[in-house]
Amino acid sequence: MIQPQYVYISGPYSSQDPLRVAANVERADEAAQAIAAKGHFPFCPHTQTSGWEDDARFAYEDFLRIDLAWIARCDWLLFLGHSPGADRELEFAVECGMVVFHSAEEVPEAT
């Protein structure tokens, strides 16, 4: 029996191409929805902070600080692909001893 888990969605976000950013957000959101449909509690930073990169109050380091704080509160990490930020999130999750999945399909249903 698997209790519902808090799952952090990690994957590429940034790009010089706005269409690529939109695709990255869509992919992460679809994964978060799949996780929720399995009875878990996803946290998707892609949708939480989308567009904040245009706000001068936030630097790259601020996003990483926020992301790592959320990872520390989650049980599992869903790693969707490599990027400098996502790789750092994965490294931190591994350091914390978290369970890491590489696709939403791998995540078991909560019972």
**Structural domain includes residue 111:** no
**Structural domain includes residue 100:** yes
Averaged over 10-34, what is the pLDDT? 94
Q: Is the pTM of this model over 0.85?
A: yes
Q: In one letter, which amino acid is 111? A: T
Averaged over 50-73, what is the pLDDT? 91
Secondary structure class of 48 (helix, strand, coil): helix
Averaged over 90-95, what is the pLDDT? 98
What does the chain come to in residues? 111
Where b means 16+ CB within 10 Å and e means fewer, 22-33 reads eebbebbbebbe
**Structural domain includes residue 20:** yes
Q: Of the ranges 21-30, 42-51, 88-97, which one carries the lowest mean pLDDT score?
A: 42-51
**Structural domain includes residue 23:** yes
For residue 16, pLDDT beyond 90: no
**Structural domain includes residue 1:** no
Amino acid 23: pLDDT: 95
**Structural domain includes residue 67:** yes
Q: In one letter, which amino acid is 72? A: A
Planar angle of CA 18, 66, 4, nearest 5 degrees: 100
Amino acid 60: pLDDT: 86
Domain with 41 in it: 6-106
Say how far apart CA 72 and CA 64 lie, in whole Å: 12
**Structural domain includes residue 24:** yes
DSSP-derived pairing of the beta strands 6-10 and 41-43: parallel
Q: Tokens 């010089």 map to which residue?
A: 16
